[in-house]
């Protein structure tokens, strides 16, 4: 298990069972830990900035997708919110970020298919949590040719970062679809 998720789980020892809801409605609330981890061998664990701001974009997309599913996904980064004792916490580690042949982070394989892969943990209390891996493709195979470099997507008005943001929209939908039945 990745270090950020494991650290978050271990430090949530005071959380009790239950899913919090907005008192004015039956909308469940889930805190999204904004302190995303980047588990890449050879890199500092705590990155000052992710490529294409994938951490900020993913959290923002999770909040939007949560609204669509009737879940209040609230971004948090303070210990008092994370150790709240009632509201489930969604912790995320970025396992792989592949932006092309020469821009691959966290992958041991020779894989140039552009993608983002994360491990997500929904922490309900100190004894109850579930994890899952989620992946999205930054480009499809029919968009890539043997001579295509992912960094050259700008030729059609699409940049690496805009393609990655589109991937993160799909990734956030997948994550919220996974979380929804567990908190409702």
pLDDT tens digits for 65-78? 999 999 999 999 88
Tokens of 168: 């993160």
Burial class of residue 121 (count of CB atoms within 10 Å of its CB; 0-12, 13-18, 19+): buried
Question: Which of 12, 4, 54, 7 has the alpha carbon at shortest distance from 171?
Answer: 54
Examine the pLDDT at 64 and tell me if it is beyond 90: yes
How many domains are contained in the chain? 1
Lowest mean pLDDT across 3-7, 34-38, 71-75, 96-100 = 3-7
- Record the pTM: 0.77
How many Cβ atoms sit within 10 Å of the Cβ of residue 144? 17
pLDDT digits (tens, 9 = 90+) for 134-171: 999 887 655 555 545 555 554 555 677 888 898 999 99
State the residue range of the domain holding 66.
3-183
- In angstroms, rounded to a whole number, what is the distance separating the alpha carbons of residues 164 and 154? 13
Question: Which CATH number do you get for residue 49?
Answer: 3.30.160
């Amino acid at each position: 298990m990745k270090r950020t998720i494991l650290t978050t789980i271990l430090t949530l020892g005071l959380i009790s069972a239950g899913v919090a809801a907005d008192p004015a409605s039956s909308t469940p609330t889930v805190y999204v830990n904004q302190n995303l981890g980047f588990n890449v061998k050879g890199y500092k664990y705590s990155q000052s900035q992710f490529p294409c701001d994938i951490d900020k974009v993913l959290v923002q997309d999770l909040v939007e997708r949560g609204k669509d599913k009737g879940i209040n996904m609230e971004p948090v980064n303070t210990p008092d919110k994370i150790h709240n004792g009632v509201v489930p916490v969604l912790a995320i580690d970025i396992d792989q970020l592949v932006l092309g042949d020469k821009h691959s982070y966290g992958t041991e394989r020779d894989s140039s298919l552009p993608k983002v892969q994360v491990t997500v943990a929904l922490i309900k209390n100190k004894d109850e949590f579930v994890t899952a891996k989620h992946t999205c493709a930054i480009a499809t195979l029919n968009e890539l040719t043997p001579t295509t470099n992912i960094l050259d997507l700008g030729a059609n008005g699409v940049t690496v970062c805009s393609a990655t943001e589109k991937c993160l929209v799909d990734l956030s939908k997948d994550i919220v679809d996974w979380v929804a039945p567990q908190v409702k």
